[in-house]
Structure 1
Amino acid sequence: MTDLYTRHQAVLPEWLALYYEDPIEITHGEGRHVWDADGNKYLDFFGGILTTMTAHALPEVTKAVSEQAGRIIHSSTLYLNRPMVELAERVAQLSGIPDARVFFTTSGTEANDTALLLATAYRQSNQILAMRNSYHGRSFSAVGITGNKGWSPTSLSPLQTLYVHGGVRTRGPYADLDDAAFTDACVEDLKDLLGHVRPPAALIAEPIQGVGGFTTPPDGLYAAFRDVLQQHGVLWIADEVQTGWGRTGEHFWGWQAHAASGPPDMLTFAKGIGNGMSIGGVVARAEIMNCLDSNSISTFGGSPVTMAAGLANLTYLLEHDLQGNARRVGGLLIERLRAVAAQFGGVREVRGRGLMIGIELVRPGTDRANPEGAAAVLEAAREEGLLIGKGGGHDTSVLRIAPPLSLTVAEAEEGASILERALSRAQ
């Protein structure tokens, strides 16, 4: 790949990150496996950043894309679009949001950007509450609410952002508290914050922080937040770009782990629904979605081809109970990885739900992040035939595991064995 890598460096930005010291070109995939340009086969435990949700080259999706492309590829939202209406109907029903309206975009970044536009217009406020260690995309507004400095290249923003405690359970000032006391402390912090500022437009939060290292707050935290927010008229936006569509196993949406106060006012989605096709979107109550008083369209959002892919992919997901598979196989994989981690002093924690698992590495004998160790495990796993991701807060020291939801028990065991060897080599 030296020649292609050299060409990449000559024409693309330096900040466009690549994995591996010797980057690989993935040429094709099938099921839970992909192949590179040199013919090497890999078990894919990252799915193009949680995007290949069901399987690589899923026949039902590729057939739907091919058939739709043979009819018409593009028309824009200026014309009626049957696949878009049909997918919107299904997403609205699945969202749990009453009187829901759906707007399709081309990415999670654009979906979050749209949600911020709606919230600020509806509430007539440019103040946003966001979580520390969060990530919401790469647009100017999205990096302005991202609480992870490694992914937020500028402090300039059209929004005034206030960051809240609670997204990271095992680090920070409340880490030593039990779950109930942790939630109470975060709620009191939120109350104190709201007592010092004019009412913000919304809180945007990932139910499980993705780029931040798959960190999970106690169940019910955002429900407790919601009770406080409603007293001030503040909206709740659930960023489901990584947690949606049953990946966590226990729930179809991440917000359902915090369901005591009902669904969020808005949720954003992307990644997995397209199984690799560019789909994002926002679901909101009609009064919020319809609050804009000027015209708008989406040139590429809701494309007939991507909507056909989304419909086929969602149908396959539901008919094959991939949420249930994520719960069963993911539960086995987490327990297997915890047994592996117990052998290594450099593993601080194995956490996650379903097929959304993080392994946090630290320098042995300390509680300090170990980004070099994470990079070494990433390389060793690739050499053994396994692709994984990485993330984390201030330092990228968390291994991110998020395979397609059709993962088998045998493949889970194979991946865990490779990770065991990779951890041993890196240590």
Structure 2
Amino acid sequence: MTDDLLGRHRAVLPDWLALYYDEPLEITHGEGRHVWDAQGNRYLDFFGGILTTMTAHALPEVTKAVTEQAGRIIHSSTLYLNRPMVDLAERIAKLSGIPDARVFFTTSGTEANDTALLLATTYRRSNTLLAMRNSYHGRSFSAVGVTGNRGWSPTSLSPLQTLYVHGGVRTRGPFAHLDDYDFVAACVDDLKDLLGHTRPPAALIAEPIQGVGGFTSPPDGLYAAFREVLHERGVLWISDEVQTGWGRTGEHFWGWQAHARSGPPDMLTFAKGIGNGMSIGGVVARAEIMNCLDANSISTFGGTQITMAAGLANLTYLLEHDLQGNARRVGGLLIERLRAAAAHVPAVREVRGRGLMIGIELTKPGTDEADPAAASAVLEAARVGGLLIGKGGGHDTSALRIAPPLSLNVAEAEEGAAILEDALRSIQ
């Protein structure tokens, strides 16, 4: 029973291991864009295991690839040649847009960002990092050290000196009143001023769209403008694509491509959706950066055969079925539908996003004051209506996060939007 499972959970797992809902769910199985709980209730899934079920639940192509690989060998470590790992690395290197790219596989986005930070600080011989305010990069010691979101930063201790830059949130902060052109210019001037007061940093790490931060983003071109300033000083650009990668934004395969004026980043990190639920993360970097380590390093579980088989099958399905195009088309319909619904709800401050990566920020009506209680109430009401969504935001978790599998169809988008509209109206 779920009640017994909850008691057992609380008895042996950390208090800080968050659970959604007043009565937490045990999800037992899924298919397509739907999941079922232990009581047999069916839900339309608009969060996909935190953007991880990228194509669909129980996708036959991925299930078959995993089953067949498990029947041969599951794991051997990186000490041996691994054909599925080389196959997937070749495809990702080509898709990355980074010249002379090398790929290192990890088991999570946290570990991917941790590796990127190790590479950047070693290559540049500096432990100073630039990161964005309201950012999130994982839960390791170094990743927490570059996370600019107080709600996800449990310690101020860090091996890194991190300086936080303006620009990740378009509609809040000291430059929010400016138009896009002047906003970018002000953020660039602020960056230049910051760089004038410190020794040259190793890198800027930035999410093109801030995930945990509530799906916020700057105007297109901001990171290209930053890159030009950084490049003059030899500072690297790391694009954290853990949530934006693989076509989720619809308009681009990678989030950095909305800022492509100055070319690709020096490094990008990925995870979440590539394995469709299997544990895959990784770093793509120029060879000179990736090869800068002068000590032995391996990954026991990164790139293991069974996860690589899943990643290959999932990536093939995504490309062959143009799920990026589907995210653009269906996501465009969904965001317009949600904006129309939110226009009648005073608590909605903003509906934002791209493709199938949509955020709804809630505030106390008539103010800019965050309202996390309203966000929790909508989350609960949506669940009652048969829809699972997420939460986030740098202002006391007051944003709803909507990120269904990229195979979402129009009928499901309409169904989810109707449930969410009812849930939003219920808080008035």
Same fold (TM over 0.5): yes
Please tell me the residue identity of whatever aligns with 1:325: N
1:213 aligns with 2:214: yes
CA distance in 1 between partners of 2:354 and 2:426 (Å): 27
Secondary structure, counterpart of 1:276 in structure 2 = coil
How far residue 425 of structure 1 moved from its aligned partner, in angstroms, is 1.2
1:123 alignment counterpart: 124
Shift of 1:216: 1.1
> Which whole-Å deviations, capped at 9, do the CAs of 1:259-307 have from their partners, x for residues lacking one?
0000000000000000000000000000000000001000000010000
1:234-283 CA-partner distances (Å, limit 9, x unpaired)? 00000000000000000000000000000000000000000000000000
AA in 2 matched with 1:288: I
Paired residues of 1:362 and 1:370 also in contact (CA < 8 A): yes
**Could you tell me which residue of structure 2 aligns to residue 57 of structure 1?**
58
1:285: which partner in 2?
286
User: TM-score, normalising length from structure 2?
Assistant: 1.00
Deviation at 1:406, TM superposition (A): 0.1
User: What pairs with 1:164-243 in structure 2 (closer than 5 Å)?
Assistant: 164-243=165-244
CA deviation map 1:41-73 (0-9, x unaligned): 000000000000000000000000000000001
Q: For 2:279 and 2:80, how far apart are their aligned partners in 1?
A: 20
8 Å Cα contact 1:149-1:394 kept in structure 2: no
CA shift, 1:208, in A, is 0.1
1:367 shift after superposition: 1.3
CA distance in 2, matches of 1:191, 1:426: 44
For the 8 Å contact 1:134–1:146, the answer to whether it is kept is: yes
Separation in 2, partners of 1:379, 1:297 = 43
- Give the whole-Å Cα distance in 1 for the aligned partners of 2:368 and 2:265: 35
User: Amino acid of the residue matched to residue 271 of structure 2?
Assistant: A
Q: Is contact 1:31–1:57 with CA below 8 Å preserved after alignment?
A: yes
**In the alignment, which residue of structure 1 is the partner of 2:81?**
80
List 4+ stretches of structure 1 deviating above 3 A. Answer: none
Q: Secondary structure at the match of 2:391?
A: strand
Equivalent-residue separation in structure 2 for 1:374 and 1:345 (angstroms): 13
Q: For the residues of structure 1 that align with 2:82 and 2:411, how far apart are their CA atoms?
A: 42
The alignment partner of 2:426 has SS state of helix
- 2: CA distance, partners of 1:254 / 1:211: 15
Q: Which residue of 2 aligns with 1:161?
A: 162
Whole-Å Cα distance in 1 between the matches of residues 160 and 70 of structure 2?
Answer: 40
- Alpha-carbon shift at residue 186 of structure 1 (Å): 0.1
| Deviation by residue 1:121-160 (Cα, 9 ceiling, x = unmatched) | 0000000000000000000000010000100000000100
Rounded Cα–Cα distance in structure 1 between residues aligned with 2:61 and 2:355: 24
TM, length-normalised to structure 1:
1.00
Contact 1:333 1:412 in 2 (8 A): yes
Partner amino acid, structure 2, of 1:169 = R
Q: Distance in 1 between matches of 2:355 and 2:395?
A: 25
Is the contact made by 1:268 and 1:281 (CA closer than 8 Å) also made in structure 2?
yes
SS in 2 for 1:316: helix
**Matching residue's letter, 1:267:** L
| Cross-structure match for 1:423 | 424
Q: Tell me, yes or no, if structure 1 residue 112 matches structure 2 residue 113.
A: yes
Equivalent residue of 1:352, what SS?
Answer: strand
Amino acid at match of 2:176: A
In structure 1, how many angstroms separate the alpha carbons of the residues matched to 2:217 and 2:204? 17
Partner of 1:366: 367
Rounded to whole Å, the distance in 2 between the matches of 1:198 and 1:391 is: 33
Shift, 1:394, TM fit: 2.9
Could you say what secondary structure the match of 1:236 adopts? strand
For structure 2, list consecutive stretches of 5 or more residues without a partner in the other structure: none
Aligned to 1:276: 277
1:340 aligns to 2:360 (yes or no): no
Q: Which runs of 5+ in 1 are unaligned?
A: none
Q: What are the Cα deviations for residues 79-124 of structure 1, in whole angstroms up to 9, with x where unaligned?
A: 0000000000000000000000000000000000000000000000
1:21-57 residue CA offsets vs partner (Å, 9 max, x unmatched): 0000000000000000000000000000000000000
Q: Which amino acid aligns with 1:181?
A: D
Counterpart-to-counterpart distance in 1, 2:228 and 2:140: 30
Paired residue total: 427
Tell me what 1:298 maps to. 299
**% identical equivalent positions:** 86
How far, CA to CA, are the matches of 1:74 and 1:137 in structure 2? 25
Cα shift at 1:426: 2.0
State how far apart, in whole Å, the 1-side matches of 2:253 and 2:137 are: 20
One-letter identity of the residue aligned with 1:313: N
Q: Which residue of 2 aligns with 1:42?
A: 43
Residue 357 in structure 1 maps to residue 361 in structure 2: no
**Partner letter of residue 140 of structure 1?**
F
Q: Which residue number corresponds to residue 377 of structure 1?
A: 378
- Which residue identity lines up with residue 65 of structure 1 in the other structure? V
Q: Deviations over 1:370-414 (max 9, x none)?
A: 100000000000000000000000310000000000000000000
**Partner Cα distance (1:119, 1:11) in 2:** 38
